Amino acid sequence: MSDTAPGARSAGRPAPADTAAPPAPADTAAPPAPADTAAPPAPADTAGEPTPGAVSDDELTWRLVGLVAVRMDLPSPHPVVVLHEQSRPWRQLEIPVALADGTAIAAAWRNEATPRPLTHQVWLETLVRHNVQVAAVRITARRGGVFFAELDTMGPRGRQVVPCRPSDALALVLRARPPVPVLVADWVFAPPPG
């Protein structure tokens, strides 16, 4: 099963001006596009989980990405979410996810209606009803084949950064309106050592 389409819907489109958007582009090597962002506030403490180790918060560069495929390569039992960088050098990031998560992400990406709300739809509706907006999703770290992410939210209690799995964040924000930018720490694109 492969969901790939030319001009595919992007999860990483920049937010309109009336919502909290990431900082202005830091690298303008590509044609003018909101593809790179300078270091936003430091990633959340993920209860002992890895954060960008040797990279100080001041040196972080965030790259805007869009979802281009949810792919199932047999004999692997896990779907792979494929994110593509929205500016040069146009890198690709493949994140393996659980089957249920891959199914939820693919359904949200295709904007499929469901007979009853899925978990991510319930959480998104809960956030909306409590006047909490998701400003951005950031994929902050990678340890081997495991990726770490966070939701940057803004609500009545101010800004909150919530650690999460990339699959949960993507399934949530693919159904959000207006679209929420998905950012990846530049160093996460580097292939894992060994």
pLDDT digits (tens, 9 = 90+) for 69-96: 999 999 999 999 999 999 999 999 999 9
Residue 66's identity, in one-letter code, is G
Bridge partners, residue 161, by sequence: 152
Which domains, from first to last, does the chain contain? 50-189 (3.10.690.10)
pLDDT digits (tens, 9 = 90+) for 113-162: 989 999 999 999 999 999 999 999 999 999 988 999 999 999 999 999 99
Q: Where are the beta strands (DSSP E) in 26-181?
A: 36-37, 62-71, 80-85, 92-96, 133-143, 146-155, 158-164
pLDDT digits (tens, 9 = 90+) for 4-54: 433 333 444 333 333 333 333 333 233 233 333 333 334 444 333 444 444
Band the pLDDT of 105: cuts 50, 70, 90.
very high
**What gap in Å lies between CA 167 and CA 171, rounded to an integer?**
6
CA-CA distances (angstroms) from residue 130 to 86, 124, 125, 135? 32, 10, 9, 15
pLDDT of residue 44: 41
Which helix (H) or strand (E) element contains residue 166? helix 166-173
Q: Count of alpha carbons within 13 Å of 79, Cβ hemisphere only?
A: 19
User: CB of 15 within 8 A of CB of 34?
Assistant: no
